[in-house]
Structure 1
Amino acid sequence: MKIPDSNTIFPLENYKNLCSLKNYVKNPNIRIGEYTYYDDFEDEINIEKNVKYHFDFIGDKLIIGKLCMIASGVQFVMNGGKHLTEAITVYPLAIFGDAWQDAMKNKKYPTEGNTIIDNDVWLGFDATIMPGVKIGDVAIIASKSVFTNNVEPYTIVGGKPAKIIRKRFSDEKINALFNLK
């Protein structure tokens, strides 16, 4: 029996809306593990369009592990979507340069760090992941949910804002599964 090739962009023959992302996404600030796929109703290219406010000059990364399943409409809001809240204005004057380049001198734009999706995570239709959120291994993310906090491994989470629905297994079984890892 042959193991599927992780370099195949369209792993399902005659179905071009599901693509393996590892060799498809070109942005160096997005890292994708093997066998992770994205299934979009319109066009698989939407995955990069759905990574919002991801400006190179910020340097944050979207890191997605192996064997993840990303449904159509999933959006990742990155740190470029955050604004100063302790300045006279929330307008990002300095990013436009020229006479404004020092407008926010000594101010630091807020950042939540990298957004990390661990391995074997299912991200349901139209879920939104906010900056700096970490979703643990083998979690299930319900459709239409909004995530502002980290998600523990083996947890089913959903809602606006997202809340724990339940653990997938008992703590003992989860520990045993982690020991197999």
Structure 2
Amino acid sequence: MTGPNPSIKHPIPLHTRVGFLKPLVTAPNIEIGDFTYYDDPDGPDKFAEKCVLHHYPFIGDRLVIGKFCAIAEGARFIMNGANHAMSGFSTYPFNIFGRGWEEGFDPATWSKEVRGDTIVGNDVWIGMEAVILPGVTIGHGAIVAAKSVVTHDV
């Protein structure tokens, strides 16, 4: 028994809704293990755009997903770019709009809100429309229920 080739985008013949993510995702700050797949009726090709939100290269956080994970349609990974500084005079992100608003902005107020990398272990099943918040670690073999919101390590 050899199994499918992990570099094949669509490993199930005639089922283009299922795809191995490793050959589909090319973003340098997203790492995906062999045989991890995403199932979406629109196809898995836009996983990084549809499912990994607020992931800006200048922040430097990573999404790491292990081997043999199953990710259902509509699952979302909210990354650190969604966070707003909570310790300043306002939670509004004035600095990102520039044109003088960035002057006097202390990057330390924002960097305190960065919660680190988001890590998914091996053999994890993430149910339909589950939401994973920034900096969470999901351990090997975990099951994340459909429509759940993961706010802490599992």
- Give the TM-score category using the shorter length: over 0.9
Q: Calculate the TM-score normalised by the size of structure 1.
A: 0.79
Contact persistence 1:121–1:140 (CA under 8 A): yes
1:30 matched residue in structure 2: 30
Counterparts in 2 of 1:55-134, with a 5 A limit?
55-105=56-106, 107-109=108-110, 110-134=113-137
Q: Report the alpha carbon displacement of residue 106 of structure 1 after superposing the two structures with TM.
A: 5.3
Distance 1:89 1:28 in 2: 32
What residue ranges of structure 2 are gaps of 5+ in the alignment?
none
Secondary structure of 2:109's aligned partner: coil
Q: CA separation in 1, counterparts of 2:109 and 2:41?
A: 39
Asked if the contact 1:79–1:131 (Cα under 8 Å) also holds between the matched residues in 2, the reply is yes
Q: Report the counterpart of residue 159 of structure 1 in structure 2.
A: none
**What is the match of residue 142 of structure 1?**
145
1:22–1:35 Cα contact (<8 Å) kept? yes
Indicate the SS of the match to 1:100. coil
Q: C-alpha separation between the residues in 2 aligned to 1:28 and 1:98?
A: 29
Deviations 1:6-54 (A, max 9, x none): 1111000000010000111011111000000000122313411211111
Partner of 1:156: none
Alignment correspondent of 2:15: 15
Aligned residue pair count: 151
Q: Distance in 1 between matches of 2:6 and 2:44?
A: 17
Seen in structure 2, the aligned counterparts of structure 1 residues 22 and 106 have a Cα distance that, compared at 3 Å, is closer
The worse-fitting range, judged by mean Cα deviation, of 62-71 and 36-45 is: 36-45
Match in the other structure for 2:6: 6
Distance 1:37 1:106, change over 3 A: closer
**Does the CA-based 8 Å contact 1:93-1:103 persist in structure 2?**
no
TM-score (structure 2 length as normaliser) = 0.93
Q: Structure 1 stretches (4+) deviating beyond 3 angstroms?
A: none
Seq. identity, %: 43
Structure showing greater Rg: 1
Worse-superposed segment, 77-86 or 89-98:
89-98
Q: Which runs of 5+ in 1 are unaligned?
A: 152-181
Aligned residue for 2:51? 50
CA RMSD of aligned residues (A): 1.3
